Amino acid sequence: MPAPTDYEVFELGDLVLQQGATLRDARLAYKTYGTLDADKSNVIVHPTWYSAWHDANEWTIGPGKACDPGKYFIVAPNQLNNGLSTSPSNTPPPFNGPYFPPVTFHDQIEAQHRLLTQKWGIESLELVLGSSMGAGQAYQWAVSHPEMVKRAAPIVGSSRTSEHNQVFLKSLRAALCADPVFNGGRYSPDALPTVGLRAFARIYAGWGLSQAFYWQREYLTMGYSSLEDFLVGFWEGFWLDGRDPNNLLAMLWTWEQGDVGKTPGFDGDTEAALRSIRCPLVAMPGRTDLYFPPEDEQWASQFIPHGEVRVIDSIYGHFAGLGFYEPDNAFIDTALRELLDRPA
């Protein structure tokens, strides 16, 4: 599936990044679902996961679901660097490709805050949810703008990227960069480093799903006929299909550096940042997630005044929170519904 084209663009203007550089004439691609109420009190924000576009969130949205567009105005902002919003791949020289400056989770949320406040005058969010890197953005929203966020639901993600998770990310980077075609990011868009991307895909394949998923050969139920068919057909296909390597590395940096303690004002103190979250927050890690394990969310939850952890009891590993398996989706939808029903 190539990148979707059904989105709008908000002109962010110049965005001064946390690390000091400026994104000039930056743009945020987004899609909305439903209608904004007159009193602007029905807003849900749902940022995107690593490498994904807004359409990857649509499994959570629909009539009768927690995120019902008949009731809520749902905004799905594409994270910077995902190829639709301002990214290495669509920025002209001199900040193009490998010369694009690093973007933090804090920067992502500042861009989204501009969209919501400047375009619509929104001052309050009924819910911020997100999966994986989207969960990191949900945490960041709750820490950066506690005055706006009434409920948060980070799914298969974390408030701080653990060192083990960082090792996984570093291995992805090392494999992609080992391909000589990558050439320090100075490849041609017409000749991508496909050998490196295929190695990247095979690393991801081991981490993304669980031991039990492969033991039970669940890929057969997804329409793949063998392990190799799944590795090439699904995994290599996914990363070769419209994913720009410099964009991937830029998002990887955001992920690797993830830590709400790095929010301005907290001086690196993750626990203090978690303590500052005012709203109810329901974290949903997957029981068999290999890089965002439930323990990390249980650790964070102890510091969040109204924090709670609901573990998705699934063998789909990280994918338990990405909309791939109906029972997991139903579990998440139920939790979101209960959270939205709670007075804030």
Which residues lie near its own copies (CB under 8 A)? Answer: 162-164, 166-168, 170-171, 174-175, 177-180, 195-196, 198-199, 202-203, 205-207, 209-215, 217, 227, 231, 290-291, 293, 295-296
Catalytic residue among 87, 131, 318, 328: 318
Give me the DSSP letters along 13-33.
EEEE-TTS-EEEEEEEEEEEE
CB-wise, 130 or 285, nearer to its own copies? 285
| Residue 39, number of CB atoms within 10 A of its CB | 7
Q: Cα–Cα distance between 153 and 339 in angstroms, integer? A: 8
CB-wise, 99 or 207, nearer to its own copies? 207
The first and second tokens of residue 330, run together, are 């139903």
Catalytic residue list contains 131: no
The amino acid occupying position 277 is I
Q: Cα–Cα distance between 134 and 47 in angstroms, integer? A: 5
CB-wise, 59 or 214, nearer to its own copies? 214
CB-wise, 87 or 301, nearer to its own copies? 301
Task: Tell whether the torsion through CA atoms of 322, 323, 327 and 329 is positive or negative.
Answer: positive
Q: Cα–Cα distance between 128 and 138 in angstroms, integer? A: 6
Catalytic residue list contains 132: yes
CB-wise, 1 or 227, nearer to its own copies? 227
Beta-bridge partners for 28: 10
Q: Please state the closest distance from residue 321 (CB atom) to its own copies, in A.
A: 17
Q: Please state the closest distance from residue 215 (CB atom) to its own copies, in A.
A: 6
Catalytic residue among 179, 244, 289, 328: 289
Q: Please state the closest distance from residue 304 (CB atom) to its own copies, in A.
A: 18
As a whole number of Å, the CA-based R_g of the chain is 19
User: Using an 8 Å Cβ cutoff, are 303 and 274 in contact?
Assistant: yes
How many residues are given for the chain? 344
Catalytic residue among 131, 132, 158, 301: 132
Q: Please state the closest distance from residue 124 (CB atom) to its own copies, in A.
A: 36
Q: Please state the closest distance from residue 332 (CB atom) to its own copies, in A.
A: 22
Catalytic residue list contains 269: no
Q: Which DSSP letter does residue 218 get?
A: G
The amino acid occupying position 222 is M
| Residue 342, number of CB atoms within 10 A of its CB | 13
Catalytic residue positions, numbered: 132, 289, 318
